[in-house]
Structure 1
Amino acid sequence: MTTLYDVPPGKLVEKVAEELKKNKAIRMPKWAAEVKKGANKELPPQDDDWWWLRSASVLRQIYLHGPVGVSRLRTYYGSRVRRGAKPERFRAASGKIIRTVLSQLEQAGFVIKPEQGKNKNGRTGQKGRKGRKGRVISPKGQSFLDNTAHELKNAEQTANPKKNANPKKNAEQSREGRANQGGVKN
């Protein structure tokens, strides 16, 4: 079974963004055309599809690290701010963008809020502790990402059939080639 761990993250995010653009629940609000992605940015994004790319990236982060809340995502997407002659410092990304993306992903059914007091496995935590807050990937969201990763993997294998045919054989051939060139000898 192919998962998102088996494909390059950049290609996966681009493919998921294309698929999310077709979904009517994920749409860029009117105010998003004029905003920056955070206090650390000088200009608004130049790419017209930035909303769907950010949505796809947030969905991937929730799959990998869920349950994830707005604060952790703000830290993930934040970066340094240039302050002239003064030292740089970290600034978190925009929370409004992340909150809106999370609510749209929730409306589309890709993420859900876990029950309060339970962790991501549905079990209660230690005595007196509540489970982690945030959003987790839903079964629909997990299958969506896994199917997209599977499509990417198949497209990559059809494009490069020799490269992916037999990894052990390819490794042996590369070792033999190095040995013939005066490199490593077996």
Structure 2
Amino acid sequence: MPGISVRDVEADKFIQAYAAFLKRQGKLPIPGWSDTVKTSHAKELPPQSIDWYVCVRPLHISGDLLICARFYVRSAAVARHVYMRKTVGVGRLRKVHGGTKNRGVRPSHHVDASGSVDRKVMQALEKIGVLEQDEEKGGRRITHSGQRDLDRIAQTTMEAEDEEEDHE
């Protein structure tokens, strides 16, 4: 299947596959505070479970059971978001990852996510060579090697989907 890109694969399946790839690779630096931080001030409480970062649905790739951490999932989502657009800054990601704040009896409002989480994710993706800073426009863009990696993961995800359809 030549010519498969990230745009051809469903977002949730690609994000899980790329998060599993990042976890297997083991190069992505994870901040020490990732187990105690709230991802937005719209959240009422920080995560209560010790294993808050474990995905609800375990991921099966080539027979292996992989558990993907929340930081890896957010990193995969950010990488895909930057891939789909030319340049993306932290402010745009805060809007995308934001949520609805429950204000009691008053109407709910959208609030942005924590800028620190998205900034650290982008910095971590920069360290492993997936993103680079855009000096002209500001923000970050995907590198050639990052685009190649994402396209490879998209192709393997598409092939896995085709194999599942063949078995049914």
CA deviation map 1:2-21 (0-9, x unaligned):
00111111010000001111
C-alpha contact 1:25 1:104 (8 A) present in aligned 2: no
Residues 8-157 of structure 1: pairs in structure 2 closer than 5 A: 8-45=10-47, 46-48=52-54, 49-116=69-136, 132-157=137-162
Distance 2:18 2:160 in 1: 15
Q: Percent identity?
A: 34
1:162 to partner: Cα distance: 8.5
Measured after TM superposition, the shift of residue 43 of structure 1 is 2.8
Structure 1 runs (4+) greater than 2 angstroms displaced: 22-25, 43-48
For 2:134 and 2:100, the matched residues in 1 are separated by 32
Deviation of the 1:27 alpha carbon: 2.9
Structure 1 unpaired stretches of 5+: 117-131, 164-186
Matched length: 148
Pick the structure with greater CA Rg: 1
Query: What amino acid maps onto 1:16 in structure 2?
Result: Y
Offset from partner CA, 1:41-75 (integer Å, 9 cap, x none): 12334233111000000000000123000000000
TM-score under structure 2 length normalisation: 0.83
Output the CA distance in 1 between the equivalents of 2:124 and 2:101.
29
Structure 2 unmatched runs, 5+ = 55-68
Give the Cα separation in 2 of the matches to 1:95 and 1:103: 12
Q: Check conservation: 1:69, 1:133, Cα contact below 8 A.
A: yes
Distance 2:46 2:148 in 1: 33
Q: Does the CA-based 8 Å contact 2:82-2:142 persist in structure 1?
A: yes
Secondary structure in 2 aligned to 1:85?
coil
**CA contact under 8 A between 2:125 and 2:131: conserved in structure 1?**
yes
Q: Say whether the 8 Å CA contact 1:21–1:27 is kept in structure 2.
A: no
Distance 1:141 1:161 in 2: 30
Q: CA deviation at 1:25?
A: 3.3
One-letter amino acid matched to 1:47: Y
The match for 1:177 is: none
CA contact (8 A) 1:25 1:105 kept: no
- CA RMSD, aligned part only? 1.6
Question: Within 1, Cα distance between the matches of 2:74 and 2:111?
Answer: 18
TM-score, L = length of structure 1: 0.75
